[in-house]
Amino acid sequence: MYYRKSACFVAVLFLYLVSSLSASARFIPKVGVESPNRGACLTVNGRIAMHLLTSNPKGRVKALKNRLSALLQKGYGPESVSFKHSGRRGANVMIGKSVFLPVSAAEAKAHGTSRPGLAESWAHSLRTLLAIPPLSVYPMNQLIPFGETRIIRIESLQAKPVSAESDDPAVTSVYVQSKTAVRVKGLNVGKSGVIVKCGEFEKRVQVVVQRYATYPQSVALRVVVTGHHPPSWLISQAAREVVRKGIVLEPGADVTRIDVFSSNTEARPGQVTRVPVRVVAEGEGLIAAQVDTQVEVENRVLPEADTTEIMYSNHPEHVTKYQDLFTGWLTRRKGSIRLLYHHQNDMKKKIGFTVDIANLSSAPATLHMIQGISTPSEDPVMVGYTAGFRFLENYGNTNGRIINIPPATHRAVVTQPLPAGCTASGILEFRVLEGNPLLVRVVAEPEIDRSRDNPDNPDISIISADLSSIKPSLEVYANPSQHLEATYSAGKPWLFLRLGQKGLKHESEKMELFGNYGVIYDIKLTLKNSLEVPQNTEVAFEATAGPVRGVFYVDDKLTKIGVIDVPQEARICEVTIPAKGKRVVNLRTMPLAGSSYPATIIVRPSSSGGPG
């Protein structure tokens, strides 16, 4: 019914408007009459308060209008309006202690409600409309970005013109756009009041002008990755490192979130694609802001290069003080160099763990990096396993990043908080593409906020110490790729291959890489069958020296082995050798940091039976 719509509208306004009634000047609302197609309406300031449908509604509304106008002249206000039950079923709309309008049974029936229900609804509508102040503005508090404009909405019940002014013209400028809107512009950072006037009534809006925490700048953002199918996390990681160059941060602002929308990005070799990125920044006294931009992602195809050395960072395995854990040199002439690190924090407090590349020369350098990095954990076997299978996956697909290192700077390529009792483990493959030799360091240090040094790229810092005299670590071993071939014949003795039995020798012949951790084994197994029927053959993995996990690629298919201990075994794969034929199986694996090596690969008749 019509009265319900009116009641709904005025109910929304009531709580806000009743508190805005001007105390500095008395305003008498305008009471009127409207005649719709059916019945008659009592209006207050042009809005319907009551809609009468029965018993000469027009005459009754005119009488109500005159009576209400007289009561308002006497000082009655919205607080005087109520409803009151009368008898068993009757009800009246009251103003003060007097009956303003008794609700008849016929009127209640015409509205489809009870007499008390209609009386309560009319009283509520009348009370709310009488409470509407002669001048309303909203919002009462306005935040305006520096240099931008916002609208203050005005509602005036008077026919007089509206004016507005700023009490601090240096902070805000004001323009009356219409009787219902004032346009306010933020000229300088600060606070001001905007005073809106209509007749003898006025309202003050509190305005605060602030700068956005960040805004975009016109800079081309480009990163370079490699790989047959670079995963979305790799593209996201590369984009995150460069996106800060595409924004300007106000003093005191910090980047609080970077969203890279790379899940549907396909960066094919030799092509360039674009990735949407969103940066959110906040700061005290600043307006939180987001910048949407794009990063170009180039997938560059590199010529193949052999891995010539492995750097082994495991001494000390248990970190008890802040120190350089490993230092070494990367040069173009050596091709690719692998770094394996595995360190446990025994300092009884959280520390910062960093792998850092320093360019000590006056010329820029470019580096290709393939990574397999685990999140630190209290389980040293698990972190070594995670780093291993991530590295092997990326290594096999050449999934990596090309990193630029400006002259006289060092760049953190791994930064992790390392809680007490946890182990950091990772495998990185480096290849200097351009520039002079680079110094790689594995460092245990206090946690630091790198963004203070370089907000554009927190991972790059100016070299502040003399690193040229640093003595490189000794544990560097040549030829970290082992190519093995072995043959097994069905019906003949089992085949045993020990992984990590003979460690790589240091060039001084005084050190050995026990367990060959981080060394890639590519094994070609030729399985022969001279018998008249096919033979099922099993390739198994045996724990030989203690608890061990394994990662194997069997003809490019990944197989993960959970923790086993002596004398346990786990199946790697099962192969059927055709009658009077042979099968070739290619395995790739790596001794994993945290596991106990040597371990053994066994080729034997399948324990599950089958042909033969």
Judged against a pLDDT cut of 80, whether residue 460 lies above it is answered with no
Among 230-239, 456-465, 519-528, the range of highest mean pLDDT: 519-528
Judged against a pLDDT cut of 70, whether residue 22 lies above it is answered with no
Are 593 and 387 in contact by the 8 Å Cβ rule? The answer is: yes
Judged against a pLDDT cut of 50, whether residue 230 lies above it is answered with yes
Are 548 and 569 in contact by the 8 Å Cβ rule? The answer is: no
The pair of structure tokens assigned to 493 is: 């003795």
pLDDT at residue number 449: 63
Judged against a pLDDT cut of 60, whether residue 263 lies above it is answered with yes
pLDDT at residue number 489: 96
For 185, phi then psi, to 5°, come to -115, 135
Secondary structure (DSSP) of 443-488: EEE----GGGT-TT-TTEEE--S--TTPPPPS-EEE--EEEEEEEE
pLDDT digits (tens, 9 = 90+) for 300-315: 999 989 999 999 999 9
Q: Which residues contact 343 (CB under 8 A, 6 or more apart)?
A: 313, 314, 316, 317, 318, 319, 325, 353, 418, 423, 424, 425, 442, 444
Helical axes 115-131 vs 2-18, angle rounded to 10°: 40
Residue 54 three-state SS: coil
What is the chain's mean pLDDT, rounded?
91
What's the rounded mean pLDDT across residues 330-335? 93
pLDDT at residue number 611: 53
Judged against a pLDDT cut of 90, whether residue 338 lies above it is answered with yes
pLDDT at residue number 467: 75
Residue 529 three-state SS: strand
pLDDT at residue number 583: 96
Q: What is the pTM of this model?
A: 0.76
Judged against a pLDDT cut of 90, whether residue 552 lies above it is answered with yes
Lowest mean pLDDT of 11-15, 31-35, 347-351, 518-522, name the range.
Answer: 11-15
pLDDT at residue number 5: 42
Judged against a pLDDT cut of 80, whether residue 602 lies above it is answered with yes
Cα 84 from chain centroid (whole Å): 58
Are 41 and 34 in contact by the 8 Å Cβ rule? The answer is: yes
pLDDT digits (tens, 9 = 90+) for 150-187: 999 999 988 889 999 999 999 999 999 999 999 999 99
pLDDT-derived band at 391, boundaries 50, 70, 90: very high
Query: Residue 313 and residue 436: Cα distance in Å, rounded?
Result: 23
pLDDT-derived band at 267, boundaries 50, 70, 90: confident
Q: In 240-376, at which residue ranges do the beta strands (DSSP E only) sit?
A: 247-249, 254-260, 272-282, 289-299, 307-313, 318-319, 323-330, 336-345, 351-359, 365-373
pLDDT at residue number 20: 44
The residue type at 477? Y
pLDDT at residue number 53: 96
pLDDT at residue number 158: 85
Q: In 3D, which of 442, 459, 455 has the Cα closest to residue 404?
A: 459
Cα 445 from chain centroid (whole Å): 27
Look at strands 318-319 and 336-345 and give their pairing: parallel
% of the chain at pLDDT higher than 70? 92
Are 525 and 603 in contact by the 8 Å Cβ rule? The answer is: yes
pLDDT at residue number 71: 95
Lowest mean pLDDT of 139-148, 238-247, 368-377, 573-582, name the range.
Answer: 238-247
Are 459 and 415 in contact by the 8 Å Cβ rule? The answer is: yes
Are 49 and 119 in contact by the 8 Å Cβ rule? The answer is: no
Between residues 291 and 9, the one the model is more confident about = 291
For each of the domains in the chain, give its residue range(s) and CATH number, in order of start: 2-131 (no CATH), 135-210 (2.60.40.1080), 214-299 (2.60.500), 307-477 (no CATH), 480-605 (2.60.120)
What's the rounded mean pLDDT across residues 226-236? 92
Q: Which residue has the tokens 């009468």?
A: 52
Look at strands 409-418 and 351-359 and give their pairing: antiparallel
